Amino acid sequence: MTQTYATHGHHPVVTYVATVFTLVGMIALVGSWLFDWPTLHLGAVSLSVAVAALVAISRTYITKLQDRIIMLEMKVRCTELLPAGKATLLSHLSPKQIVALRFASDDELEALLERSVAERLAPDVIKRSIKNWRPDLHRT
């Protein structure tokens, strides 16, 4: 999809759903406590659904953000380590392929990058091809 000013907005549906369940839950709990409405269970279930939705979306956001950081890291790393122009090969790979390539040692990065582009290697194949792993001890 081509992004334009008209289509660039981000509308996280899961966040909206969690907000609705939070509001329902809070109203139900306050009504139960202050007005003796029989809504204690509804409030507890609604807040539980809201928390579950927010936990799910937060994990998704964390992973996507981390992948974006890794893609930037790999662009910088390739620019520093590889001959001029070779870093542009990254543009032929998917984010998952770039994340997989991130584990390659400096010595094998160039060859594995070229092979990944030429053979359209799947992320798992890229990881299995690495002989000297560069650990990522900060991944969430």
Q: pLDDT tens digits for 11-24?
A: 889 999 999 999 99
Q: What is the pLDDT of residue 140?
A: 74
Condensed to tens digits (0 to 9), the pLDDT of residues 71-117 reads 999 999 999 999 999 999 999 999 999 999 999 999 999 999 999 99
Condensed to tens digits (0 to 9), the pLDDT of residues 29-83 reads 999 999 999 999 999 999 999 999 999 999 999 999 999 999 999 999 999 999 9
* Domain region containing 51: 13-129
Tokens standing for residue 89:
């090969």
For residue 6, being part of any structural domain is answered with: no
In the chain, DSSP assigns E strands to: none
Q: What is the DSSP letter of 140?
A: -
Number of domains in the chain: 1
For residue 137, being part of any structural domain is answered with: no
For residue 2, being part of any structural domain is answered with: no
Instruction: Check if the beta carbon of residue 101 is closer than 8 Å to that of residue 113.
Output: yes
54 three-class SS: helix
The rounded distance, in Å, linking the Cα atoms of 51 and 135 is: 33
Segment 2-8 mean pLDDT: 89
Which pLDDT band, with edges at 50, 70 and 90, does 137 fall under?
confident
Instruction: Check if the beta carbon of residue 66 is closer than 8 Å to that of residue 95.
Output: no
For residue 59, being part of any structural domain is answered with: yes
Instruction: Check if the beta carbon of residue 135 is closer than 8 Å to that of residue 111.
Output: no
What's the chain's average pLDDT?
95
pTM over 0.85: no
